[in-house]
Each structure stands twice: as structure tokens, then as C-alpha cells.
């Protein structure tokens, strides 16, 4: 046992084998090899969640702007106020007649990816009164 690379134990008459040093090293190498894949999966999930959040924020803001049009108040201010403060700098609001369009760029560390995932939502205030 002292000169072998394999450890063996005897417990209650049964022979139990433990991992060899080589097997433990192989498991470590496999874990290290999987780390980049796990990182890519985590970043992809985060990007999808950020895109979904941007869509939700844009939809809520567009609807708030359309409601403001119905009530005769400033739709741009209402849409901007409906957005969280951290999102306002990444949002654009357009008013065209009785419709309000809001675009929100998700908060992602890769600008080209954020640009392609920009959410756009439009809400209509209905026919003029």
C-alpha cells in the first residue's frame, strides 16, 4: 500500500476502493474544462433576462404614455416617469399622433449585443375623442 498509487481500505470485511490520484486529477481537469462552458451559459441566461426586462419596461412605459394621451397630459413625461431611473438613460420615446413608442436598450456589457436586443413597444391611445 505504501508504494502503490491506489489506496484500498477494508471495512467490515468488505474491500472499498477509493479513487486513485490519477482519477482525482482527471476530475479536476474536467471541471476546469467545463468552466468556460458554464460561464457562457450563465452569460447567455443573463442576457436573455436583461432582454426580457427591457421588453417589460418598454411596454409599461408605452402604455403609461398612451394613458397620458387619453387623459390629455404629457405622454413623454408619463412614459419617462414609468421607467425605472436606471433605465431612463437607455430609453427613447417617440410620440406619433395617438401612439407612443418606447425603445429600451438592455443593460449588457457588450454594446453590439445590447443594440441587437433593444426592445421596442408601441401603445395606441385609440381614436381621438
Q: pLDDT tens-digit profile of 61-96?
A: 999 999 999 999 999 999 999 999 999 999 999 999
* Backbone phi and psi for residue 98, each to the nearest 5 degrees, phi listed first: -110, 25
In a domain, 6, yes or no: no
- Residue 107: give the domain boundaries: 21-124
In-domain check, residue 45? yes
**Total domain count for the chain?**
1
Task: Examine residue 129 and state whether it is found in any structural domain, yes or no.
Answer: no
- Integer Cα distance of 62 and 78 in angstroms: 9
Residue 7 placed within a domain: no
- Residue 10 inside a domain? The answer is no
Flag whether 4 is in a domain: no
For residue 109, the model assigns a pLDDT of 86
Residue 16 has a pLDDT of 56
Residue 118, C-beta contacts closer than 8 angstroms, at least 6 positions apart: 54, 103, 104, 105, 106
Read off the pTM.
Answer: 0.74
Asked whether residue 107 is assigned to any structural domain, the reply reads yes
Query: What does the alpha-carbon distance between residue 96 and residue 69 come to, in Å, rounded to a whole number?
Result: 11
pLDDT means per 10 residues, the chain with 129 residues, are 49 58 70 89 93 97 97 97 97 97 94 93 93
Please indicate, yes or no, if residue 35 is contained in any of the structural domains.
yes
Amino acid at each position: 500500500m505504501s508504494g502503490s498509487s491506489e489506496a484500498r481500505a477494508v471495512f467490515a470485511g468488505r474491500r472499498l476502493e477509493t479513487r486513485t490520484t490519477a482519477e482525482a486529477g482527471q476530475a479536476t481537469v474536467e471541471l476546469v474544462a467545463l468552466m468556460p462552458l458554464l460561464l457562457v451559459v450563465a452569460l447567455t441566461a443573463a442576457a436573455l433576462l436583461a432582454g426580457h426586462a427591457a421588453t417589460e419596461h418598454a411596454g409599461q412605459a408605452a402604455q403609461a404614455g398612451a394613458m397620458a394621451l387619453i387623459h390629455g397630459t404629457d405622454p413623454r413625461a408619463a412614459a419617462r416617469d414609468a421607467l425605472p431611473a436606471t433605465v431612463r438613460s437607455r430609453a427613447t420615446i417617440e410620440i406619433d399622433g395617438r401612439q407612443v413608442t418606447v425603445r429600451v436598450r438592455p443593460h449588457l456589457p457588450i454594446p453590439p449585443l445590447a443594440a441587437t436586443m433593444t426592445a421596442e413597444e408601441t401603445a395606441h391611445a385609440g381614436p381621438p375623442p
